[in-house]
Chains A and B, each alone.
Chain A
Amino acid sequence: MTISRKDIEKVAVLARIRVDEEQVSALEKDLGNILDLVDQLSAADTDSVAPMAHPLDAVQRLRPDEVTETNEREAFQAIAPATENGLYLVPRVIE
């Protein structure tokens, strides 16, 4: 199955990954091959089958609504590219 240049560009935006011109051609080929592989799934009869998200059909555990963790902001922010007053600094979002 082929994936168009437009689809690749759209998906790159969704994935927040910059893809330039030369890369799009390679991706057209590679992603096309992968999607060819994936198309084999359409041969399977899955009409009365429930999707399986977890091998043991387990569900999310819940715990009591009590505070048990301590704030370790300093340790976690020590490895950040840029911080100020406990906030993470990033380039301006809105002009």
Chain B
Amino acid sequence: MLKRLRDPWPDHRAELTLGAVSLLVGGVVVAMVAFVGVHAWPTFSHNGLSWLGSGGTLETQIANMQATGVKAPASAYHLRAWPLVYGTLLSTVAAVVLALGIAVLSSIFIVELAPARLRRIAVPVIRLLASVPSVIYGLIGVLVLVPFVGNDLITASQKASVQNVVELTGAGLIVTVAILTVMITPIMVALICEALVSVPNSWREGAIALGVNPVRAILAVTLRAARPAIVAATVLATARALGEAIMISMVSGSRSFTPKPIDGLLFLFEPLRTLASAIVDYHEGVGAPALGSTLYAWALVLLFSAFALSLAGYLIKLPLRRYQVRG
């Protein structure tokens, strides 16, 4: 037996072994959907589509689930998850829009504008930003930014004006979005820079020879050629922002409150909760059937959003491939 393994392998056996390994890896996704879906099913079957709606307070619904224990009656599954979905959408869209602008501008800076010496410093520094663990971002947020916003930016009269509705501690939308932006920008910068570098130099030179200034050439030619990469970067960054759990659970205030733009400036300071951070907040209760199923339902929504994002990125990039640009 051992001798058979030690001898040079025939090609077909190697192919089958490696293929089996790949199948195992591919099967993980199927298993993931199956396991999460099976666990999430009771919640969806009890609530139907109104699961996504609003109504009642999420915290009391969760407390109700925890109180029922091992044999949960059907009423325990009652849940309206809109505050979480809204919180996720709000923080993700805000962070991605901000990060997109910053990432495009700073990629232009790195590839086209920065002097070589500065570029040699900037690239590793920004790469470092991408690899800082999210718990460190959360720690800085909760120990530095949240007290700063809570004590210095929010005035006492602002706190008093809403004290019957929500308590403003500083943990909330603005800190969440700010840190989330810093976390996802480097990912976008990496992809966009790679694409900008691969745009043929002659295109840019051609534009400049036609009389436009370098910045206009970058905006009109180079950036346009890098569009597939910008789309890919946005998709990747959105997926990352959707799934960020630990950092948001630390700095968002963790209250299923829906910040309303109508509140004016206070909108920025109101607490929120996202799908991913709610899973972290309530993970202790996964043993209670109703709450456990609810957690898996949130995870299933995240999982399908991630699927949809990769699919959307692929579809958007298809027509752009015609221009024979890499992405």
A binds B: no
